[in-house]
Amino acid sequence: GESVGLHLPTLSVQEGDNSIINCAYSNSASDYFIWYKQESGKGPQFIIDIRSNMDKRQGQRVTVLLNKTVKHLSLQIAATQPGDSAVYFCAENTDSNYKLTFGKGTLLTVNP
């Protein structure tokens, strides 16, 4: 059978509900974090970022929360729409050459 590692964590929500996607990052020295959205067959698209001197940042319908104590990042999407269906993954910058370390991602499915 398939390896468990091939299956992404999945979040299924109803249209109009709020979604919360979580990410545990690895390095306590990371000072910059990004959320990306990747639709099927497309490249990752920047959604929102946050620096380590902040604990919350808001965009249009999206909010990123950073908890440095437990090395946790979350993405909140308000009033989720079918067009929000995609894989969402976080990234952290731990390198001065602007290299990013990416999470594996969460598949968000929005049911009409």
Partner 1 sequence: DVKVTQSSRYLVKRTGEKVFLECVQDMDHENMFWYRQDPGLGLRLIYFSYDVKMKEKGDIPEGYSVSREKKERFSLILESASTNQTSMYLCASTDREQETQYFGPGTRLLVL
- Smallest CA-to-CA distance from 22 within 70, 81, 59, 60 is with 70
Residue appearing with tokens 């390095």: 27
Q: How far is CA 48 from the centre of its chain?
A: 9
DSSP state at residue 92 = E
Instruction: Report, in Å, the least distance between residue 104 CB and partner 1.
Output: 5
Per-residue contact flags (x/-) with partner 1 for residues 35 to 74, judged by CB under 8 A: -x----xxxxxx--x-------------------------
> Where does this chain bind partner 1 (CB under 8 A)?
3, 5-8, 32, 34, 36, 41-46, 49, 89, 91, 93, 97-100, 102-105
